Homo-oligomer: A and B are copies of this chain.
Amino acid sequence: MTKERLYLFDTTLRDGAQTTGIEFSLEDKIAIARLLDGLGVDYVEGGYPGANVVDTAFFSQSRTKAAQFVAFGMTKRAGRSVENDPGIADLINSSADAVCYVSKAWDHQVKLALGISTKENLKSLAESVRAAIDAGKEAFVDCEHFFDGYKANRTYALDCVKTALEAGARWIVLCDTNGGTMPSEIEEIVTDVISLAPGDRLGIHAHDDTGQAVANSLAAVRAGVRQIQGTLNGLGERCGNANLVTLIPSLVLKPVFAERFETGVTAERLETLTHVSRAFDEILNRGPNRQAPYVGASAFATKAGIHASAIAKDPATYEHVKPESVGNERLIMVSQQAGKSNLLTTLKRFGIEMAKDDTRLDKLLRQVKEREARGYSYDGAEASFFMLAHKMLGTLPKFFDVTSYRTAIERRHNAKGEMVTVCEAVVKIDVDGEILMSVAEGNGPINALDLAMRKDLGKYSDRIDDLELVDFKVRILDGGTGAVTRVLIESRDDSGERWFTVGVSPNIIDASFEALYESFTYKLMKTA
């Protein structure tokens, strides 16, 4: 039996940006788009070109290879032509492959929030859709407030769908904007819509305000829609959007869906899901949710002794899917046994081949566990893991040693009576017995340290010229200013490669120094 195709649409960079406390930088957006593209989603919605500096820069070039790149915006304003609407121009002139318009499908909202007639609203919708198609792009329509609109005025809600369909929209997405609809209602209403629009032109956009965004999305698929919108780790306004990281494994692994449908996420890509979810949290600079379905550190953890022994006899007892199918691992709290195979896979990616029964593998595993217990996290810092592995194998070169450093930060009034902050770092570096001392001022202590270190690395100076620190993230692991600090540094060079290193210490400067030192070493190893 041929399977029907389900399309996955990610809106992390658009609706996810509405999450309280989240603000994406351009670098964040580029990194997240790359994660999504690699995972195999079909569409990556990137934001609102023209609305702010970051989004405009993000849409200045294509940001996906496999996935379609989607720009989001409003339909044309009433009272002006499509050609004279600067918002529409920003959308169709962007580097996006597709344009997703938001259009209200609840008559009451059209009048209340837009202050235009319901007829004008439909006219804007149709003309905007055609403008995108004329510009050679796919057009999508997000029917905002669709389910509440349907309950209040079924005819108008369906008119919106019909108008979008007739204007040529590739997808018409039914949005449960305030997130209050129950799965049974979704199923009932979608079944009615399906009677006038084909399911392979319909999508679902659910929010988690009743804790049922995933169930609502799956209910809509059962009723016939073929596109699902959601976000990584359920980011989004209020309680978040449908969590794609939770949805995808159910679609791929659960027989009721897997027997009927296929998605762009192959079984092989599904094995990267836990990594994608955790790498995303690293970008957001937050700890992953241990309890997250499928990918959480506790998702396959067993605490109860009786359960643990039953699992030893038959894992299926308390595991509804195989942990490795989503790149996660079983965690038995009494005898912490971890994933040698994970380790082997990562080493192989770095060009280090080892046999499964190599005793050095056990030693490395113990070191990783021990260091992670102290606060290190190698999930997001593979360059540091690479160096740890080389260290254990005795193949880590020592290019240089920082025998001591000192940083001083002073805030005081200067001679003119202005408050100023002065920051200075002194480093003493040993390169093959040659002692080099350098001093530098910087914007902050870590910047000063970085500048002092690169001022003179002796014979290696040339080789770090194009080393650039791209990002620097700090997490406090226990809470309070006295707790352990984890610093993650992202670096890159002219080859375009990016690498992450990690440092841990109660002292933020020390932790930063450790990550900085490893980044320098990694760069020197690359060019060795």
Contacts and interface: CB of A to CB of B under 8 A. Distances in A.
A444 B302 contact: no
A31 to B, nearest CB: 11
A470 B475 contact: no
A432 interface: no
B405 A411 contact: yes
Contacts of A512: 481
A167 interface: no
A508 B184 CA distance: 51
Interface in A409-449: 409-413, 421, 423, 442-447, 449
Number of copies of this kind of chain in the complex: 2
Q: For A317, A380, A477, which residue has the most chain B Cβ atoms within 10 angstroms?
A: A317
Nearest to A27: B479
Interface in A376-419: 377, 379-380, 403-413
Interface in A155-188: 177-185
A131 interface: no
A410 B406 contact: yes
B405 A406 contact: no
Given A379-B21, A447-B506, A411 B513 contact: yes
Contact of A292 (B184, B239, B285): B239
Q: For A239, A405, A490, which residue has the most chain B Cβ atoms within 10 angstroms?
A: A239
24 contacts: A109-B317, A112-B310, A112-B313, A178-B316, A185-B256, A209-B293, A209-B294, A210-B214, A234-B291, A237-B304, A237-B307, A238-B302, A239-B296, A239-B298, A403-B413, A406-B409, A407-B410, A421-B505, A444-B507, A444-B510, A469-B480, A470-B480, A471-B476, A474-B475
Nearest to A106: B317
Interface stretch (A4-12, A215-223, A358-366): A215-223
A480 B25 CA distance: 13
Contacts of A316: 178
Nearest to A425: B409
Contacts of A423: 507, 509
A269 interface: no
A316 B212 CA distance: 19
A350 interface: no
A219 B183 CA distance: 9
A380 B482 contact: no
A450 interface: yes
Contacts of A240: 291
Q: For A23, A256, A485, which residue has the most chain B Cβ atoms within 10 angstroms?
A: A23
A303 interface: yes
Contacts of A19: 291, 298, 303
A320 interface: yes
A256 B294 CA distance: 30
A12 to B, nearest CB: 14
Contacts of A301: 20, 237-238
Given A482-B442, A507-B423, A508-B508, A238 B317 contact: no
Contacts of A297: 20
Contacts of A505: 421, 444
A513 B215 CA distance: 46
Given A468-B480, A477-B25, A446 B508 contact: yes
Interface in A310-337: 310, 313-314, 316-321, 333, 336
A514 to B, nearest CB: 10
A201 interface: no
Given A214-B210, A239-B292, A468-B480, A411 B421 contact: no
A443 B507 contact: yes
Q: For A211, A214, A309, A380, which residue has the most chain B Cβ atoms within 10 angstroms?
A: A211
B254 A210 contact: yes
A243 interface: yes
Given A444-B485, A477-B25, A239 B408 contact: no
Contacts of A304: 18, 237
Given A209-B294, A240-B291, 10 more contacts: A20-B297, A20-B303, A25-B478, A182-B256, A209-B299, A238-B301, A238-B302, A408-B409, A444-B508, A446-B508
Q: For A25, A180, A306, A409, which residue has the most chain B Cβ atoms within 10 angstroms?
A: A409
A406 B215 CA distance: 56
A300 interface: yes
B482 A447 contact: yes
A246 interface: yes
A252 to B, nearest CB: 12
A290 interface: yes
A443 B482 contact: yes
A150 interface: no
A302 B178 CA distance: 11
Contacts of A443: 481-482, 506-507
